[in-house]
Structure 1
């Protein structure tokens, strides 16, 4: 048993459990509360619908459906759902009787709620019909009153002389006495009802074209909102009354109206009848409204009682369903009358699991204890990194690239520091870093409250709050190194340079600063800011710094090859991998770092007593690296850094060249030699001997001891050609990658330059321009430009530039660093855990 560490994944063990059938459900439930075992499916060939506990799972599916129905009704009624408490829910396995009672209780609540919903919806529909009829009676009464006044003003003889066929003939003459016939025997009637307002124009157009204008139509809007009982949506409707000749035309109007979604409400032809009908409708609406209020209150009380226990019921059902779903992965031993399970668990937690098994046996009063066996197997275990709220975000960055192989070095440990640091190299600004740091501190100090906020984007940012915290802190540090705060420099210490203006100095003249013998103790001297060669100096500094950081980062990754090979006892990976790779890297790029540091330490403008330069002009390191390969062993005098440089560079090139066949041939031929030696001795591969104890064996001699697990897969046969091809690809990838990856680290310089220049431009175009004015105008412009500057700083320099630096830092870790040693071919440890089950959102 090894000590838990973040440097490698946890040591895992394959365990076998013998669980008596009578305590299987509480035992699995207890293991679900622990969340320490990832169970294997021992019935992969059995269909999901043919497993032992499919009936129970269907039962809980039905209960989940009922609970989702309750949830929808409660949310619709805008009732708050209470969270679980110790009084409403106790985390323990439920007995069969308790589950039967819960199922019966849920069914009772559902039946009562369905009956109330049906009754309430029926009454609402009736209420809607009465409300529409009320508006129809009111609007038609107003229409008929206006028509009567118009008819009274007309002379009776003039009305008889006019033909009904004329366009101006009154159609409403004798309507009060009911449907009538004119001199030609034509029947005059009306159709009344309501229709949705958005269909009114279409309705009029269809009627006009279908009847060729042989109708008279009047409409009025219903100002009171009408609620559809089916959808609970507010629908705007209009009242209409249509007059036309002939029963066939009236029937056609009714069909068209019903097809357009209109509701027809016939009215009494007499004024007295309409008045009585209106009074009756008002009385019925008042009674129905009272019944609706009482029904709604009763329904709300029922939903409130359900809401008090809904979360507890949902927790119970989800846990029990997950328990039986897990039990479907087990085998059943008929002879021992027990369930047999296998699963992976952290080795350090085996004692905890055994204690949980004993506790379940004692509480249930069972005479037969559950038995745990630790199995020996050559199967690759799952990878489990024990993380906390601080390290989980960094581990997720690594896992997004690929899950670590079991027990290999975990890059997440180094990512905690290297990721925010490389981000800060590209984002170095004290001001911007402080803003990022303040945002992260707000997330950290309010994490308990903010943890309940939902939203995919916010959850992603909140999960990485500690990453953002370190990114902001490191950005402040690198910003101080660059002496850059919102593109301005601050005189933290005394400058090492002095500007002496000569006599006759004019604006625009170039003045060369003189060293005063004082060394600026930390970061870049603020005197560099604003000088003509500031950009030239910072470009050279940041470019070389990027190369140095990149080579150190990649060399550290190569060092992890040694630790992996040592841990897995593969000396060939050290001799044929780590050593030549490190020699190749340091012969070329390690030497480049040394030349950079050497060039920084030499005073290339030193003169002798007579004033002549002691050394040549500083040589170009780019030319040095190029001619190191083109003319190995010789160096031009103008490009010489130190005596004996040609011999050293020739030796380093020779070492780098030798490392290529070393990496290419040593490992494949060593593996071939080992394979032929094993075959000559007549040994077989270990996987051919691994078997598992029989699950239907009647004997119990092996129970409680370590047994051997069968592996259904065989190791691949050794093929020298395949191994040679694989090693050739790996060698070419490493050699070319050393060059391309080193160049890739120049993104640290490029993004740092872009960030600094964009910040400078933004300051100059906003606050810098505002401060060129004075007086009231200057104050107003300063206020306006400050808001513009701050907004652009947040959204562009921190938002967009920060995201860009984050993605580039991600690339440097995934590609340039991880590929040096990280396999990333493992699979994650996913234990049976109620915490994970309850955190999953319903699909």
Structure 2
């Protein structure tokens, strides 16, 4: 978990490879995938390097292997042609039987001696040539003549054995050539020593893998029979090392989401650890529906159960491979959508009622507020929560299903989701600001905690944190029967910045005006602290003349303006949670009302057929519009909230990944034959 929170420690090492064992040592490192080699000959042309001849020979072999499929195709064509010939020969095999015998000449004086056997032997033929009057009896051929069937069978068997052996060995040959080429290209990155008895290489290596590095060098020397072992030395480096986060099939999808924005700086806090939870959750807030989330989770579960299937791992469809790589992400998105759908009480836009509602209509009749004449003459009725017994208690979990029948359902849900979006946004951004403290501590910038982190938190919490406080305070203090007299939070928030009081809007609590003025002053006072963040530069920087005061002031001023304006725009940006959730809910409602409801109106056998057709159309639209289009839209908006609103509070994203020299990666990246 530590390496997931922060990248692994990476150091620069210098390898001394003996000339006789350099190939085997690099090959061992390629099998393990430990280090990333640096180019020590950046000014040398690629065609002038020491091992360019070996690389070219490997490329020629790869070219030959790439032509093998065409050769195999020609062989298959030849086999097909031979099979056709064999069929024709087999059909006329009797006509070839005469070739088993050959004629010989008999003198005229011996005709009488052989006349009688000619008549008695049915295997002899008497031929009278017009021009020589000679007899030609049949005799077995002295030469071993094979039957056409035997010749064709042996030829086909030989070709089949040749093809089977070639097909079995060709992938191994290709892998061997790829490894050889990769090793020779790495050797081209090395520089020879002064005595030309060893090669010197530099590479990035995780600190925890240094013992394995030494073992690989020893193993390479043992395989080559070298009497002197290769070794390494750690080097200091002024350049920031590359970033390495160990990932697996579960975390790789979330790490790819973060690194699509930018690779983390060395030893910087990794947002992927928190994205595992926050990304599916924010997606589900916009995609909340139990039915749609269940379909998405089942699809992801199928991909997970079949993840070892070669047809999935080796698919050439880029979109499918992207979806397959994020199968665990899709699973969590589906599960969180089921959870938020249960809170919204929506399942394919329909509400469910596992518990009893907290609203009751019976008290309205008891006080004679409602009666038969009211029911007959009023199209819409309003339950008054002030009446005792109308509202007893909140619904145990989620939205009360009675809101599904209310005419003001949309008004209530809009207010609820809008405030919920602001609360989630402020908490999410505040958490991002707090994470920057880990970066400051890791870099030794303790002063930034007091001069950057605390002022940023003050500005955020004094303004938008206070807005969240007022929302939650109003929910707790004012009960449903007091809702008519509840003050407006929007007016209070506007008056807070104008330093005014509104007599028509009662305060939420005693002394609210004073508290609001103090909070605004604290927020405004934190801004100059941002800009004045210029400490005396360290003495080494002054001596090297690398400290530019004007540049630092400009950078800090830009950061201050960006942060202050970003707090406002980013908070408003989280309202997309409300907008996307509303759009998804309304689209689900439209599909149900305009499509599915028409299928349940029919009766009898005709209704069964109509329901089957309508349900098929409803399912198709649900998958195409709500799952694919709406799902992709919610995914992109959740991506934006993490990249911009969350990560810019603490994440630099200007690093570069460690790309170890690894045969497995090279082979997987190559196109199979």
Aligned-pair distance for 1:296?
A: 8.0
Other-structure match for 2:56: 58
Change (3 A) 1:310 1:831: same
- Structure number with the higher helix fraction is 2
Q: What is the CA distance between 1:466 and its match in structure 2? A: 0.4
Higher mean Cα deviation, 828-837 or 566-575?
566-575
How far the C-alpha of 1:15 sits from its partner, in A, is 0.8
Answer yes or no: is the 8 Å Cα contact 2:440–2:446 preserved in 1.
yes
Question: What SS does the aligned partner of 2:405 have?
Answer: coil
Which residue of 395, 398, 402 corresponds with 2:262? 402
Q: Provide the rounded CA distance (Å) in 1 between the counterparts of 2:541 and 2:232.
A: 38
TM superposition shift of 1:533: 1.1
Deviations along 1:778-834, whole A, 9 cap, x unmatched? 322211111111111111110100000000000000111111111000001101000
SS of equivalent to 1:597: helix
* Equivalent in the alignment of 1:309: 169
1:519 matched to 2:400? The reply is no
Matched residue SS, 1:342: strand
1:464 aligns with 2:334: no
Q: How do 1:614-693 and structure 2 match up within 5 A?
A: 617-629=485-497, 631-632=498-499, 634-665=501-532, 667=533, 669-670=534-535, 673-675=536-538, 683-684=543-544
**Inter-CA distance 603–827: structure 2 relative to 1 (3 Å threshold):** same
Instruction: Give the alignment partner of residue 813 of structure 1, picking from 604, 628, 642.
Output: 642
Are the counterparts in 2 of residues 561 and 573 from structure 1 also a CA contact under 8 Å?
Answer: no
Q: 1:506 and 2:506 equivalent?
A: no
Alignment of 1:566-581 (within 5 A): 566-581=441-456
Q: In the alignment, is residue 416 of structure 1 matched against residue 249 of structure 2?
A: no
1:800 correspondence with 2:662: no
For 1:467-482, what aligned pairs fall within 5 Å after superposition?
467-482=329-344
Name the SS of the counterpart of 2:4 in structure 1.
coil
| Aligned counterpart, 1:374 | 234
Q: Structure 1 residues 463 and 491 mapped into 2: Cα distance closer, same or farther (>3 Å)?
A: same
Q: C-alpha distance in 1, partners of 2:219/2:574?
A: 56
How many residues get paired?
A: 593
> SS of the residue aligned with 2:267?
coil
Q: What is the CA–CA distance in structure 2 between the aligned matches of 1:507 and 1:25, rounded to whole Å? A: 94
Q: Does 1:535 align with 2:407?
A: no
User: Distance between the aligned counterparts of 1:570 and 1:727, measured in 2?
Assistant: 15
Q: Please, what is the CA RMSD of the aligned residues?
A: 2.6
1:32 is aligned, of 30, 35, 46, to 30
Q: Distance in 1 between matches of 2:376 and 2:610?
A: 31
- Secondary structure at the residue paired with 1:498? coil
Deviation at 1:516, TM superposition (A): 4.4
Distance, in Å, in 1 between the alignment partners of 2:377 and 2:163 is 82
Deviations 1:556-577 (A, max 9, x none): 1101111100111012321221
> 2-side partners of 1:724 and 1:523: how far apart?
50
Contact 2:33 2:660 in 1 (8 A): yes
- The answer to whether the Cα contact below 8 Å between 1:437 and 1:468 also exists between their aligned partners in 2 is yes
Q: Distance in 1 between matches of 2:394 and 2:481?
A: 18
TM-fit CA distance, 1:363: 3.4
CA distance in 2, matches of 1:616, 1:529: 22
For 2:630 and 2:68, how far apart are their aligned partners in 1?
Answer: 47
Q: CA deviation at 1:749?
A: 0.4
CA contact (8 A) 2:537 2:547 kept: no
- Aligned to 1:335, the other structure's residue is in SS state coil
1:11-37 residue CA offsets vs partner (Å, 9 max, x unmatched): 101111111110000100000001010
Which of the numbers 771, 774, 785 marks the counterpart of 2:603? 774
How do 1:112-131 and structure 2 match up within 5 A? none
Compute the TM-score of the two structures, normalised by the length of structure 2.
Answer: 0.84
**Residues 596-611 of structure 1: pairs in structure 2 closer than 5 A:** 596-603=471-478
Q: Does 2:608 correspond to 1:738?
A: no
Answer whether contact 1:30 1:360 (CA < 8 A) is retained: yes
Write the deviation string for residues 740-782 of structure 1: whole angstroms up to 9, x where unpaired. 0100000000000000111011001112122233333332221
Report SS of the residue matched to 1:642: coil
Query: Once the 2 structures are TM-superposed, how far is the Cα of residue 623 of structure 1 from its aligned partner?
Result: 2.0
Separation in structure 2 between the aligned mates of residue 60 and residue 787 of structure 1, nearest angstrom: 56
- For the residue of structure 2 that corresponds to 1:321, the secondary structure is helix
Q: Where does residue 102 of structure 2 map in the other structure?
A: none
2:217 counterpart of 1:357: yes
CA deviation profile, 1:36-58 (whole Å, cap 9, x unmatched): 10000011011101111001000
CA contact (8 A) 2:286 2:577 kept: yes
- Superposed displacement of residue 521, structure 1: 1.3
**Conservation of the 8 A alpha-carbon contact between 2:271 and 2:647:** yes
Query: In structure 1, how many angstroms separate the alpha carbons of the residues matched to 2:615 and 2:526?
Result: 59
Using the alignment, how far apart are the partners of 1:535 and 1:50 within structure 2?
A: 73
Displacement of 1:333 after TM fit? 0.9
Once residues 5 and 461 of structure 1 are traced to their aligned partners in structure 2, the CA distance between those partners, rounded to angstroms, is: 26
CA distance in 2, matches of 1:810, 1:561: 20
> 1: CA distance between counterparts of 2:576 and 2:251?
26
* Separation (CA, whole Å) in 2 of partners of 1:628 and 1:74: 81
Conserved in 2, the CA contact under 8 Å of 1:394 and 1:416? yes
Match 1:753 to one of 582, 590, 604 = 582
Q: Which deviates further from its counterpart, 507-516 or 488-497? A: 507-516
SS at match of 1:348: helix
**2:613 paired with 1:784:** yes
> Which segments of 5 or more consecutive residues in structure 2 lack a partner in the other structure?
86-147
Matched, 1:548 2:423: yes
Name the structure 1 match of 2:314: 452
**SS of match in other structure, 1:448:** coil
- Alpha carbons of 1:507 and 1:792: their partners in 2 closer, same or farther (altered >3 Å)? farther
Task: Output the CA distance in 1 between the equivalents of 2:528 and 2:297.
Answer: 49
Structure 1 residue 506 displacement after superposition:
2.6
Q: Compare 409-418 and 362-371 and name the one that shifted more.
A: 362-371
Distance in 1 between residues matched to 2:462 and 2:266, nearest whole Å: 33
Report if aligned partners of 2:596, 2:615 keep a CA contact under 8 Å in 1: yes
1:377 CA displacement: 1.8
Deviation of residue 842 (structure 1)? 4.5
Between stretches 382-391 and 304-313, larger displacement belongs to: 304-313
1:340 is paired with a residue of what secondary structure?
Answer: strand
